[in-house]
């Protein structure tokens, strides 16, 4: 809580394990109880032109704001490549290459991750889907991404209304190019979905 993290041109490898907020490279607020006492602002971060490999979650955040994840490589990570989570907002996830995630999705935002941009990323050959918006994540723009050869969907929206999918290319994913489940007011414009 209250932290500012700036990463440029660095490499991170073989970090993290399956314990809350110990997933590898994590930007997180204190617990609700601790933050009520300490009163710290949300954490912020810029991760730019760096490589994250063989990490339990390549990136994870909790109640973070104004995080920029730009022009990085996420490869061979265990559960997720990029996983902003729980009430985070105003994120920029742009220009990243995310591939060979072993268990699940290349890029996922989940549990009220709002008002964010997922643009110009290349997500491929991941264990499940290329890009996922999940659990009431709203007011996000997913645009101009290249998503192919994933073992799940190209892009999946699950219980996440009020989002825009624009100009994405979704090719040769094992399931659907675009899947929208229980999500209203979703704009889907100028996307190309082929061979899914």
The pLDDT value recorded for residue 31 is 82
Q: Take residue 89 and report the two structure tokens written for it.
A: 């907002």
Q: Of 112, 105, 117, which Cα lies nearest the Cα of 161?
A: 112
Quick one: which H or E segment has residue 32? helix 32-38
122 carries an active-site annotation: no
Residue with tokens 């990463």: 7
Q: Report d(CA 73, CA 188) in Å as an integer.
A: 27
The pLDDT value recorded for residue 35 is 84
CA 172 to chain centre: 21
Q: Take residue 177 and report the two structure tokens written for it.
A: 């190019």
The pLDDT value recorded for residue 21 is 86
Q: Take residue 102 and report the two structure tokens written for it.
A: 């072993």
Q: Which strands make up the sheet holding 73-75, listed edge to edge?
A: 11-13, 51-53, 73-75, 97-99, 122-124, 146-148, 169-171, 192-194
Strands 186-189 and 107-110 come out as unpaired
Calculate the alpha carbon distances from 53 to 83, 86, 152, 177 in Å. Answer: 14, 23, 21, 26
pLDDT in tens, the chain (196 residues): 999 999 999 999 999 999 988 999 999 998 888 888 898 999 999 999 999 999 999 999 999 999 999 999 999 999 999 999 999 999 999 999 999 999 999 999 999 999 999 999 999 999 999 999 999 999 999 999 999 999 999 999 999 999 999 999 999 999 999 999 999 999 999 999 999 9
The residues, any chain, with a CB within 8 Å of residue 130's CB and separated by 6 or more, are 98, 105, 106, 107, 123, 124, 145, 147, 148, 150, 152, 153, 154, 155, 170, 173
Q: From the candidates 85, 105, 122, 148, give the one annotated as an active-site residue.
A: 85
């Amino acid at each position: 809580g209250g932290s500012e993290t700036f990463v440029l041109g660095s490499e991170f490898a073989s970090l993290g394990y399956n314990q809350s907020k110990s997933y590898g490279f994590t930007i997180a607020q204190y617990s609700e109880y601790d933050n009520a006492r300490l009163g710290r602002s949300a954490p912020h971060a810029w991760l730019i032109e760096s490589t994250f490999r063989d990490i339990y979650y390549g990136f994870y955040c909790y109640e973070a704001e104004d995080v920029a994840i730009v022009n990085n490589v996420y490869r061979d990570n265990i559960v997720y490549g990029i996983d902003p989570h729980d009430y985070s907002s105003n994120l920029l996830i742009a220009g990243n290459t995310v591939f060979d995630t072993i268990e699940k999705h290349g890029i996922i935002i989940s549990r009220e991750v709002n008002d964010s941009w997922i643009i110009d990323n290349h997500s491929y050959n991941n264990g499940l889907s290329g890009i996922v918006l999940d659990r009431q994540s709203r007011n996000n723009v997913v645009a101009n991404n290249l998503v192919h050869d994933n073992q799940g969907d190209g892009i999946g929206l699950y219980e996440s209304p009020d989002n825009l999918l624009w100009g994405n290319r979704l090719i040769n994913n094992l399931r659907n190019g675009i899947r929208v489940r229980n999500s209203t007011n979703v704009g889907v414009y100028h996307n190309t979905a082929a061979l899914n």
